[in-house]
Amino acid sequence: MNSSQAQFASPILTLTVNPALDISTSTDLVYSGHKLRCNGSHIAPGGGGANVARVLHRLGGHALALYTAGGTTGDTYRKLMEAEGIPALVATVDGDTRQDFTVDEASTGKQFRFVLRGAELHENEWRRFLELAKRSIRAGGYVVASGSLPPGVPDDFYARVARLARQADARCIVDTSGPALAEALAEGVFMVKPSRRELAELLGATLDSEESHINAISALLENGSAECVALTLAEAGAVVATKAGVIRLAVPSVQVVSTVGAGDSFLAAFVLRLAQGYPVNAALATAVASGSATVMTPATELCRPDDVARLEAEIVARAANPS
């Protein structure tokens, strides 16, 4: 990236309506009936939009993170975001910010993830969140709506965000699943980043071949659901469709430690590159590098910038000299 691209990057706003304090640890073996003595623990501010803002920041970009926070867990969450230097706009809510718990089983390499249900958001709270989003969306900028919705928030929440973005002449990017994803696509967004599992669930299809992937993402483009569809395929990389065509990219060879946060890292890098004015193929290279760099780090830890730069260089070199 050159400095003028960084300086003139379009503004990015990330939304996290269902954040979670991610607590992670490891133990030798998980079994029932006895106390499981754990090794050291790590705590991080998680949730889709927040992770996107954190990775963007690590990669030298800037995003404003709008998130809800409540109770003592919410206070800790804010402090952790502040400690990482993430510019934030906090919507204070009544319910406690939820916590997630991840345990790596050291003797087997298995991972156990306990995802707690968030506290219910009252109607006045989610409406206020939308109001704050509306005030923070910038014309020509990007709005990244990522993660699940907490109880109490209607399924069309991200569809409402997409409408606000369109009215403000901004681009809405959605990464979620189930009915919230379906409603956002029915409204129409700039970009969507489903994983294979999320897209298969949405379409009620298996998506087990390259042809099925390309057909599915092309259909979303043609019916106006999105202008850019990035389907991530875990260890098989990603495939992106825009009106300019379809591009596929394989992952570099990495040692897989924990896949948590891979999709958020992919999306952060992709948006950062678009906001800096890079073309889609360059954005995809940084995105795959960033997703793959995150699987090299333990538990909920996100990518290290050095790994991203190294993997990106590998991807670019491979594209220039395909063997």
Ligand X SMILES: Nc1ncnc2c1ncn2[C@@H]1O[C@H](COP(=O)(O)OP(=O)(O)OP(=O)(O)O)[C@@H](O)[C@H]1O
Which pair of structure tokens corresponds to residue 294?
A: 């995150």
Packing angle, helices 157-167 and 123-136, rounded to 10: 30
Map the footprint of ligand X across residues 262-291, applying CB under 6 A. 262-263, 266, 288, 291
Helix extents (H) in 84-241: 123-136, 157-167, 178-187, 196-203, 210-222
* Cβ at position 1, least distance to Mg ion in Å: 25
- Size of site (CB under 6 A) for ligand X: 20
The CB-of-146 to ligand X minimum distance in angstroms stands at 9
- Of the pair 68, 297, the CB lying nearest ligand X is at 297
- 38, 97 in Cβ contact below 8 A? no
Candidate list 263, 276, 302, 312; residue touching Mg ion; CB under 5 A: 263
* Chosen from ligand X, Mg ion, none, partner binding at 256 (C-beta under 5 to 8 Å by type): ligand X
- When CB distances to ligand X are compared, the closest residue is 263
Enumerate the active-site residues: 264
Euclidean distance between CA atoms 84 and 87, whole angstroms: 9
What is the DSSP secondary-structure string of 269-307? HHHHHHHTT--HHHHHHHHHHHHHHHTTSSTT----HHH
b (16+ CB within 10 A) / e for 200-225: bbbbeeebeeeebbeebbeebbeeeb
- Using CB under 5 A as the binding rule, the residues of this chain from 62 to 121 that contact Mg ion are none
Kindly tell me the sign of the dihedral angle through the C-alpha atoms of 250, 148, 83, 88: positive
Considering the complex, state which of residue 137 and residue 280 has its C-beta at the smaller distance from ligand X. Answer: 280
197 near ligand X, judged by CB under 6 A = yes
Residue 195 interacts with ligand X (CB under 6 A)?
A: yes
Does 292 help bind ligand X (rule: CB under 6 A)?
yes
Cα atoms in the 13 Å half-sphere on the side-chain side of 152: 17
Contacts of residue 197, Cβ cutoff 8 Å, sequence gap at least 6: 177
Nearer to ligand X, 98 or 196 (CB): 196
Token pair in block for residue 134: 């509306």
Quick one: 252 or 263, whose CB is closer to Mg ion?
A: 263
Closest distance to ligand X from the beta carbon of 72 (Å) = 29
Binding mask 209-248 for ligand X (x = CB under 6 A): -----------------------xxxx-xx----------
Question: Is there binding between residue 46 and Mg ion (CB under 5 A)?
Answer: no
Residue 194 in the binding site for Mg ion (CB under 5 A):
no
Cα-trace Rg, the chain: 19
Which residues of the shown chain bind Mg ion in the complex (CB under 5 A)? 195, 263
Which residues of the shown chain bind ligand X in the complex (CB under 6 A)? 195, 197-198, 232-235, 237-238, 251, 254, 256, 259, 262-263, 266, 288, 291-292, 295
